[in-house]
Structure 1
Amino acid sequence: MILALNFVTVSMVLIYTLADFRCPAFEKQTQCTCREIVWWNNDRMSIVNCSFLNLKTMPNLSSLSNQNVTKLLLSGNNISTVSVSDFDVRSISELDLSRNTLETGGIGTLSQLGADLTKLNLARNRIAIDQGLMFIKNLSILTELILDSNTIRNYENDSQILPDDIFRDLRLHSLRKLSLRSCGITMIEPRAFVGLESIKEIDLTYNYLEKVPSAILQLKNLERLFLGGNDITKIATDSFVTLDALEEIVLDYNELSTIDDGAFRGLEDSLKELELHANYLSQIPTAAMKQLRKLLFLKISKNNIKTIKNAFQGDYTLNMLELDSNPLVFSKNTFQGLEHSLETLFLRDVGMSIIPVAELSSLKTLSYLDISHNHFHRKTFDTDISTLSVKTLVMSNNSLRHISPSAFINLRHPIGLDLDNNNISNISFIISSPPCSFRYVDVTGNPIECDCDVEEILHTGIIFGMGLTGVCKLNETMYEIGSSILAEQLYTFCNRTERISWCSGAFQSNRALQSNTGLTLINVWVVFVCFLLNKRWEVK
């Protein structure tokens, strides 16, 4: 019942219908389109879409002046100037002017939209950000501002500098998200973000910053910080010291080789996600991380980490760890400190030739393990994994040819097995393994033959839930495994096998799921009927 109620809650949020919001004269004149979405709770969103029409000037919106327009989309045109008189419509909450040719001097004040505008997208124009942004002054309820791929013209010693106080007098008191991706910024002055104290998310991805800008220390409410794709080589002590609400830091695709022990001071009770993918780190930053009591997710893939010894000794309870694309050498201490917290582990492309069962067995809560792209030297997988706690094992792209049932002979619980894109042609290991060893087996992208083993697996009931998925070949024709067409073909040369197992627990689970699904559908229909009745009452 809980599952059904949760699902119907999500469904209620997603239910909407298209309603009448027509502008035939405007559409004929401009080739723009008008449409309206009515959500389940009767909220309405009127959308005028003038994107990618090669417009050189703003369309004349006067014919819509008596209508409420929620979203106005003008992306992908050649509009070079806009002024307040161009917006002769009411209630615009989202305005998209991205991918045009707007320059700073070509934008008149937009303050007239201040009573309603919550989202403004000016990405990919020719706006000189550092020359002033007074055209967005007094947008008092603006919550999201996107300025990606605009320019900085303030060159000083070949640096493109975001200057002090650029936002100070704009009165953007409600702004929560600011995006400055790909603006060529090499330096940010210490007071650049004064006036944006309400910001919760700032995106500075794909610039040329060489260090974490001290300007962010003014943003006391910051929760998410994106600094990926810059030139940062070091995270110095106290780089985030005043940001005690910060939950997520993304520093992937930089040139990091050093993280000071005090780099994350101040984040002990806030930081949950840390992404350090694609840098030059040679070790886990143990000393810097050990006091991060709330840390749940660490992504430190594609670095140069070889040995991990006592690296996860800290106050945190890490749930998810990505170590992909590191030349790892495993030892008994590799995962020490994570024994009772780690649930998801990615070890893709780490050069392993065999699963390090002894090291992984210490992870008592590990549920999901991905060891794809390791290309095992032995083409037969026969490692006994019965001591692992995993419920899902992903082994795609490992050049495997054979799977031995000995790997699954003593499993403590069923597992999901993903064997995508190997070179496996025979899946008899499923038949030879104890019944109900697998929640599902995915053999997509393997040269599977449609033989009597496939028929037996499909009809004996020896696999839980999702069963066997993928495609197989019969007489040069490819069939979806599990399709009725394949079943008919198999019966021409295979005796139809009898069901020998219901996979104890799977049948109950499926029935429960069907029951909950039924309740969910009933609840969705109740919501929909109520919606229709509400509409009927409105008419009356």
Structure 2
Amino acid sequence: MLRSLFPWAIIFLMQLPPSFQENCTYETSWIDKEMIVTCENITSLDFFKEDITFNNSVSEIVCLDCNLVYLTDNIFPVSITILRLANCNISQISNSVFTDLALLEELILTSNHINLFPEIFKKLMSLRTLHLAHNHLHSLEYNYFTGLDQLEYLFLEGNNLSSIDAEPFRILKSLKYLYLDENNIAELDKNAFRGLTELTILSLSHNEIVTLSGETFNDLTLLESLYLDNNYLLSLPRELFYNQASLTYLDLSGNDLQLDETLFEGLNNLLVLYLKNNSISHLKNGTFQYVPSLTLLDLDENLIKSIDSCAFQNLTHLRRLHLENNFVEYINEDTFSDLVKLEILYLQNNSLDCLHNNTFAGLDSLEELHLENNNITYGEPVICKNESSNENIDIQLKQDLFGIEDMKKVLLEDENIVTENADGDALSECGNK
């Protein structure tokens, strides 16, 4: 199929081998006359050698589901800026296959069988994006990346890396995004990320990391997003985030962490904190004192049974709080008093049996309150859930029980708010616990 074809391009098409015409298409930009070549199910790229004039016009090569196996020397046009060879069964690469590609800006080698060797990319002085995800990489050496002074994006997820030694990325002074997800990384040298002073996103999720040195992220002063979810972390050193004043997003979900009051020291600008599915059993006073800018806090699926009255103190910017799927039995009257901007509060699937009159007082921004699947009883007022409809709890319940006039939704499925016990005596308000 030919799209946006110039007459002179048709002449070159007639000169190309039949395999090109059958399995490849190309389109031409009307602005700069550069060509994008797309091939499927081919076994060789040698036809690019057959017409130098044609080659000088090619800016992008895309091979989809090909069977190339071996990349030989001098097969790519020197004019290309983007080379995509995903899922092409590549297992061997010539030492000098990329030697003449000084203009290349993006190289995608995802889902092949590639192992790297020193200085393979050393001539790619313009390269900004390198995809090596889902290959057979077992280790990283600093000289693998020699010459990549302009590299900003490096994708290494889904390989067989078991450790990151000291300074494998030290040459990559311009690197901003580093993805190491879905490997088998169990050990990180304390200098693994040394020199990455421009890094803004680091993903280490879905690995086997048990411990981290307090110096691991020392050089990452511009880091904005850090993904450490789904590892085996038991604890984190107090000084781990001392230099991460720029961090706004932190995911620690799916580990085995307990929380310490000093854990988040240095994270004054953190906006989003995921702590879902850990081993947190108690939220102490001051736990979140160093993250006053939080807008989202997720503590879903932990073992939380008790919450100190000042656990959420000073979280005046928090808009969404997840406490569902825990074992919370009791909430102090002033636990949420500082959460003046809270919009959604998730407390479903806990063990609550009692609520204070003022538990939610002052939460004037609250729009949704989820209390499903608890065992809440309350002495007054006399208001029960309407079992015959799915309508929201009426406004009187919102005002009298929760002290909130403008709340849009209160969910209390499977609750039975009562005013009398089995003997017909009025239930009293919650006492202090």
TM-score for both structures, normalised by structure 2: 0.73
Checking the alignment, whether the CA contact within 8 Å between 2:73 and 2:94 is kept in structure 1 is no
* CA contact 1:66–1:89 (8 Å) conserved in 2: no
Distance 2:21 2:196 in 1: 44
Q: How far apart, in 2, do the equivalents of 1:283 and 1:420 lie?
A: 31
Q: Distance in 2 between matches of 1:278 and 1:219?
A: 27
Partners of 2:391 and 2:86 lie apart in 1 by 52
Aligned with residue 98 of structure 1, among 64, 85, 96: 64
Letter of the structure 1 residue corresponding to residue 112 of structure 2: N
Are positions 1:427 and 2:392 aligned together? yes
CA RMSD of aligned residues (A): 4.0
Deviation at 1:62, TM superposition (A): 9.0
Letter of the structure 2 residue corresponding to residue 360 of structure 1: F
1:267-346 matches, cutoff 5 A: 267=220, 269-314=221-266, 316-328=268-280, 329-338=282-291, 340-346=292-298
Match runs of 1:3-82 below 5 Å: 26=1, 34=3, 57-59=19-21, 68=33, 71-74=36-39, 77-82=40-45
Alignment check: 8 A CA contact 2:199 2:222 kept: yes
Q: Which residue of 1 aligns with 2:380?
A: none
Q: Match of 1:231? A: 184
Contact kept, 8 Å, 1:348 with 1:373, in 2: the verdict is: yes
Conserved? CA contact 1:275–1:298, under 8 Å: yes
Hey, what does 2:175 align to over in structure 1? Answer: 222
1:410 aligned onto 2:361: yes
Structure 1 pair 97/310, CA: closer, same or farther in 2 (3 Å)? same
Aligned to 2:417: none
Q: Secondary structure at the match of 2:297?
A: strand
Q: Which residue in the other structure is 2:420 paired with?
A: none
Contact 2:235/2:257 (8 A) holds in 1? yes
- Deviation, structure 1 residue 284: 2.6
User: d(CA) in 2 for partners of 1:246 and 1:289?
Assistant: 15
What SS does structure 2 have at the residue aligned with 1:249?
strand
Mapped partners of 1:106, 1:286: distance in 2? 51
Instruction: Name whichever of 434-443 and 292-301 sits farther off.
Output: 434-443
* Number of the residue aligned with 1:480: none
Q: Would you say the 8 A contact 1:173–1:195 is kept in 2?
A: yes
Residues 62/426 of structure 1: CA separation in 2 closer, same or farther (3 Å cut): closer
More helix by share: 1
Aligned to 2:128: 176
Go from structure 1 to structure 2 and tell me whether the alpha carbon gap of 1:235 and 1:188 turns closer, same or farther (over 3 Å shift): closer
Structure 1 residues 285 and 64: alpha-carbon distance in aligned structure 2, compared to 1, 3 A threshold: closer
Query: Is the CA contact (8 Å cut-off) linking 1:385 and 1:407 kept in structure 2?
Result: no
Q: Distance in 2 between matches of 1:196 and 1:306?
A: 40
Equivalent in the alignment of 2:117: 163
Q: Which moved more, 1:350-359 or 1:292-301?
A: 350-359
In structure 2, the partner of 1:151 is 113
Relative distance call for 1:251 and 1:241 in structure 2 (3 A) is: same
Tell me what 1:126 maps to.
Answer: 89
Counterpart Cα distance in 1 of 2:157 and 2:20: 31
Change (3 A) 1:65 1:316: closer
Percent of aligned positions that are identical: 23
Mean alpha-carbon deviation: is it higher for 190-199 or for 118-127? 118-127
Shift of the alpha carbon at 1:397? 6.3
CA contact (8 A) 2:66 2:87 kept: yes
Q: Work out whether residues 417 and 438 of structure 1, in 8 Å CA contact, stay in contact via their aligned partners in 2.
A: no
AA at the equivalent of 2:118: D
Whether 1:110 aligns to 2:63 is no
* 1:307–1:163 Cα change, 3 Å: same
8 Å contact from structure 1 (residues 326, 349) kept in 2: yes
Is residue 169 of structure 2 the alignment partner of residue 243 of structure 1? no
Q: Gaps (5+ residues) in structure 2?
A: 6-17, 375-384, 415-433
